[in-house]
Structure 1
């Protein structure tokens, strides 16, 4: 039964990924090929970066549909009736599916941590440069903007944490009353007491129209390193431990983290949603196939599964908006539909 469940689920997943990746590529291929020099190699690179995200998003859907297909097959062949006649309860009939789905959840969590987060982070950086050469950020953030009073500071890449933060290709737009006075450019920058130390600095005076080299200068007093490294935290592009570290840094800096905490908890509740699918689809496993209501039961199971996905996305959206506390946003739909699935199963079969 576990083998039947796994083969049907992964077959549905393969079909969904094939179709959805093809549709996604139709919409993105023109943007990829628009950059000079891009060709088939970049198309294949995009597929390798996009496919993990599609797998992550639609794995629970695939488990739901695979479970329904397996249950309908068992029901049509009267195998469920045979098992119940042998003395097995509804929960015992579901046990192989639940154990197999727990295995799928563990695999999904590891897959998300090791592959999806890295692929998503790389794809975001690639999209930020409009599918040009990907900047070598080495785990840092790219294209960072920070405001210092009227001045604007831009860095191509920000790496490190705290005093170890390093900026690459820095531009400081010195403004007064919204009018640009000078542009300061530097190859790199590091935090020092009283601001940031810029190396190999060049200054362009807008009024005079002249450029000169200044060597090492200090600017941006009062700008903290976390304003660069934590200016934009993408939960999907970070692993569980990396996101937890970013949340700790933001807490120390006194910045709001409720939405990120909801995403952190969802990195566990999301893969575990596969364990719910056999329970929600169990309504299709029982009842007499000859009664003519097997299709209706399958529709009910599908409706319960899709209702969970709607509630899960709604809860996470409310968590991102700050309307729900993180624990409720991440785990509320899971607990609610676990209780609902158990209630349906006990009332109808136990």
Structure 2
């Protein structure tokens, strides 16, 4: 009974500080994002409403990304408050071990983590994709839609479907639908691939079908130039990014890319980051223990915030460096995703040895 009450008390304290830190971190990021978006207002149809909508729809993704750092800072603050009020000293005098207190801390972190993962797997991919699509379309003034089944675009009475848009301008499985003013299909053109050259799209391996009343004719062409395409910049923005997919969808997409000998490294890196996300969160919480029971047990709250913030910045920067290095130098994605978490886990173990 005593330990259950202890768990609830620690959970209540740490939960409040973690949520507060998460709110501050996400709020600051969204504020600076909105400041950046102010420079984009006026491009095409992009307005203040679009900027605010973009910032709002990015909230689930930022919540997911910042949670491990918020868990570290929130744990430092929560345990720091208990330490400053001598409550941790009373717990230790009652026979409660540091590891038992740490387990109480991890349990509340795991409960929050489950909610954040559900948010990151369900709401965040859809909201981020919708936000970036809305932003790109408003700025470009073009009509286009990105879905999990490819990119759709409209140019007058022509509709274009790109099954596999690829960043950099190389496209595969492109289909054109040409309608007349009465919205009757006049021509169907399919191309196995397309690339941008000299301000024109060049289609390759083309099958073309002409519909004229009840008469249907077809022909095959080696190549053809077309101009009624979305711009390469728009295609780059609307290309399906790893963050636009849930983890099961990401796994299936990686399998699809590998089977077709396509570049899958960015998607594999994102997949492994998600796989180790629970471990990253637990390590972040565990890292708070030696700072509260060790050298920082008697320092002010402000110093704990500084230490936690510096650790969070280092962890975030290390993740970014390893991620870019993996893509640049062909480093194993699992190793790149796991290394920052392992280094912080080793740091936590090293610091914990000093308090036992």
Normalised by the size of structure 1, how large is the TM-score? 0.72
Q: Are residues 1:68 and 2:76 paired?
A: yes
Q: CA deviation at 1:18?
A: 2.3
SS at 1:349's partner residue? coil
TM-superposition CA deviations, 1:21-69 (whole Å, max 9, x none): 12211221352444348453x3442233222232222222222221121
Q: Counterparts of 1:169-248 in structure 2 under 5 Å? A: 169=176, 189=190, 195-199=205-209, 216-219=218-221, 233-248=240-255
Cα 1:157/1:33, change in 2 over 3 Å: farther
Cα 1:296/1:9, change in 2 over 3 Å: closer
Residues matched between the structures, number:
302
Cα 1:294/1:27, change in 2 over 3 Å: closer
Structure 2: give runs of 5+ residues left out of the alignment: 1-9, 154-158, 166-171, 179-185, 193-203, 224-234
Q: CA deviation at 1:266?
A: 0.7
TM-superposition CA deviations, 1:311-334 (whole Å, max 9, x none): 222222222224421221111222
Q: Which residue number corresponds to residue 258 of structure 2?
A: 251
Q: 2:17 aligns with which of 2, 8, 12?
A: 8
SS at 1:5's partner residue? helix
SS at 1:137's partner residue? strand
Q: CA deviation at 1:103?
A: 2.1
Structure 1: give runs of 5+ residues left out of the alignment: 145-154, 172-184, 202-213, 222-227
TM-superposition CA deviations, 1:79-122 (whole Å, max 9, x none): 11111111222111111111111222222222111122112222
Q: Which residue number corresponds to residue 55 of structure 1?
A: 63
Normalised by the size of structure 2, how large is the TM-score? 0.71
* Cα distance in 2 for residues equivalent to 1:22 and 1:82: 41
Contact 1:247 1:261 in 2 (8 A): yes
* Cα distance in 2 for residues equivalent to 1:278 and 1:126: 37
TM-superposition CA deviations, 1:121-144 (whole Å, max 9, x none): 223323433444663333234389
Cα 1:170/1:124, change in 2 over 3 Å: farther
| Aligned Cα root-mean-square deviation (Å) | 3.7
